[in-house]
């Protein structure tokens, strides 16, 4: 993925004032609106919406900026955005409802309900509990390229998860894992004899009156007030397409607006009660907001949890501290959208921040500012400037890494073979197929519906893939030759580790003729 920073705002957007269609227009904390606008411009965010809940009331809901950088339509408090991984708390809550009904227990083995579901290690397969699925301690690295931009459906992703080798010992440390949330969603569906989507809509959205929320982008076409995804590509904010992520839905597919999401926050702050009715038991709300896995407070985790002394993961929530108060929060990032749901339960305060640009720090900037305004923090930091400095240092490191890679490129080399000799189908048991073609003077690579692009020679038998969807950035592909001088393997980094794809043997001429084809 490309590395970007949101530090410049187009003048056409910068002059747009905050706008609210339906909610209270008076800011609850003096200076909040001006701060949000300044931060929005700093981070190059086309549009943002926020809602604030205090003492079981939605005290503020407002939109800022535009839904689409190419159009004048402004964001409102009803504008729908993707909430990304903030969806995980809904999946955990769905399981909690089943626990309340005594249909499952947190420590039940997952395979009790998911017949045929296995992970790489037989011991972990047997011992993996529902609690493990939801607390990121499976021992597995992310393996996101199994679902992201792939043609596999939920069941096929679940089947292929068994090929993902563990990166750590089972239950030994935190390892963020979308695939395990898919498993939890599929488990919910099987126990409830429905789909995860229907369960979430019927058991959570409907009781909370979240009438403009859904679990798939397929429903957005019929909605009027929807934000457009954006990404910063080559230092320019550009519109990018919505991506269908139905195949990983329980980990991050919910779309909503800040008014609907405020109802979700009210439920959390009221310990499972909404409108006088106990939707989820107080016991299960506490269970979800109790630490289950320690997260080392270092690197990126430290940067997005400034001021925290401790960090842990509950069931669908990150848990940390700020100024002596518990912070319960979960962010979300998916193509062209960044989100955050955060609460100070002891203060009965919560905030929802939804934006229409990828990988933005703005939601965390707004969260920290709100905490300081509410708590009247002495000597409060300028979080916008503070996080911008952090972003600056990260980008500097990324540029240095890129320069190092460029410096390691060996000039004046050429591929070992004519390009046509590299063409073929390469297969991995987990990730499926990669197709390489050499025709009409083009050297192309295709992996599923998203990752399609051209291969340009880098050095020796390594090529750089430039994806047609520019927001996906680039990737390096290396071909391996066997002892006979023929290509038999392709290596590509799929999210943190090189993966080797074996070349599928071409059928013999006699087999092709028998099938009615013509040998090449």
Q: Per-block average pLDDT, block size 10, for the chain (520 residues)?
A: 34 33 70 96 97 97 98 98 98 98 98 95 96 98 93 97 95 97 98 98 98 98 97 95 97 98 98 97 98 92 83 98 97 97 98 97 97 95 92 87 94 97 97 94 92 97 96 95 97 86 76 46
CA distance 6 to 395: 11
The first and second tokens of residue 96, run together, are: 């909690």
Residue 25: per-residue pLDDT: 59
> Phi then psi for 230, rounded to 5 degrees?
-140, 160
pLDDT at 451: 94
Closest C-alpha among 146, 165, 216 to residue 447:
146
The residue written with tokens 């990404």 in the block is 231
How many CB atoms sit inside 10 A of residue 357's CB?
A: 28
Number of H helices, E strands in the chain: 15, 22
Tokens of 432: 């499926």
Q: Where are the domains of the chain?
A: 11-385, 419-514
Continuous segment of H or E residues that includes residue 390: helix 383-408
pLDDT at residue 19, rounded to an integer:
41
pTM of the model: 0.92
- Quote the pLDDT of residue 24: 54
Res 117: pLDDT: 95
The residue written with tokens 């399609």 in the block is 452
CATH code of the domain made up of 11-385: 3.40.710.10
Instruction: State the Cα–Cα distance between residues 361 and 68, nearest whole angstrom.
Output: 19
User: Do 419-514 and 11-385 have the same topology in CATH?
Assistant: no
**CATH classification for the domain delimited by 419-514, as one of 1.20.120.1760, 2.40.128.600, 1.10.10.10, 3.30.360.10:** 2.40.128.600
Q: Round to whole Å and give the CA distance between 73 and 157.
A: 38
How far is residue 91's CA from residue 93's CA, in Å, rounded to a whole number? Answer: 5
Contact 376, 384 (CB under 8 A): no
Cβ atoms of 465 and 476 closer than 8 Å: yes
């Amino acid at each position: 993925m490309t590395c970007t920073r949101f530090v410049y705002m187009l003048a056409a957007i910068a002059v747009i004032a905050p706008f609210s269609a339906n909610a209270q227009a008076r800011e609850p904390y003096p200076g909040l609106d001006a701060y949000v606008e300044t931060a929005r411009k700093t981070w190059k965010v086309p549009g943002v919406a926020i809602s604030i809940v205090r003492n079981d009331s939605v005290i503020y809901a407002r939109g800022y900026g535009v839904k689409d950088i190419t159009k004048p339509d402004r964001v409102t408090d009803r504008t729908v955005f993707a909430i990304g991984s903030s969806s995980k708390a809904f999946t955990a809550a769905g399981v909690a409802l089943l626990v309340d009904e005594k249909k499952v227990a947190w420590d039940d083995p997952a395979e009790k309900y998911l017949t045929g579901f296995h992970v790489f290690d037989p011991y972990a397969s047997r011992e993996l509990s529902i609690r493990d699925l939801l607390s990121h301690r499976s021992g597995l690295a992310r393996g996101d390229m199994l679902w992201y931009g792939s043609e596999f459906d939920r069941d096929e992703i679940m089947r292929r998860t068994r090929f993902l080798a563990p990166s750590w010992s089972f239950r030994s440390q935190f390892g963020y894992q979308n695939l395990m949330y898919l498993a939890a969603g599929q488990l919910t569906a099987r126990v409830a004899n429905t789909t995860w989507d229907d369960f979430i809509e019927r058991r959570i959205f409907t009781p909370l009156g979240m009438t403009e929320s859904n679990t798939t982008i397929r429903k957005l076409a019929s909605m009027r007030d929807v934000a457009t995804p954006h990404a910063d590509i080559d230092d320019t904010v550009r519109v990018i397409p919505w991506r269908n992520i139905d195949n990983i839905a329980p980990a991050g597919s919910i779309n909503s607006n800040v008014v609907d999401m405020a109802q979700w926050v009210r439920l959390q702050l009221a310990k499972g009660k909404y409108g006088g009715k106990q939707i989820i038991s107080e016991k299960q709300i506490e269970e979800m907001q109790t630490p289950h896995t320690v997260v080392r407070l270092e690197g990126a985790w430290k940067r997005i949890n400034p001021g925290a002394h401790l960090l842990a993961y509950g069931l669908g929530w990150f848990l940390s501290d700020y100024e002596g108060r518990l912070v319960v929060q979960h962010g979300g990032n998916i193509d062209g959208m960044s989100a955050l749901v955060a609460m100070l339960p002891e203060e009965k305060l919560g905030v929802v921040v939804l934006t229409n640009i990828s990988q933005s720090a703005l939601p965390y900037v707004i969260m920290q500012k709100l905490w300081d305004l509410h708590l009247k923090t002495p000597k409060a930091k300028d979080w916008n400037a503070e996080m911008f400095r952090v972003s600056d240092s990260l980008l500097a490191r990324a540029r240095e890494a890129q320069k190092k890679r460029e410096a390691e490129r060996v000039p004046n080399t050429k591929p070992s073979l004519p390009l046509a000799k590299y063409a073929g189908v390469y297969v991995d048991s987990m990730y499926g197929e990669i197709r390489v073609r050499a025709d009409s003077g083009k050297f192309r690579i295709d992996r599923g519906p998203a990752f399609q692009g051209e291969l340009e020679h880098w050095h020796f038998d390594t090529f750089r893939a430039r994806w047609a969807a520019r927001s996906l950035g680039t990737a390096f592909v290396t071909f391996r030759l066997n002892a006979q001088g023929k290509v038999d393997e392709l290596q590509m980094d799929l999210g943190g580790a090189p993966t080797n794809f074996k070349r599928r043997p071409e059928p013999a001429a006699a087999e092709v003729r028998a099938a009615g084809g013509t040998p090449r």
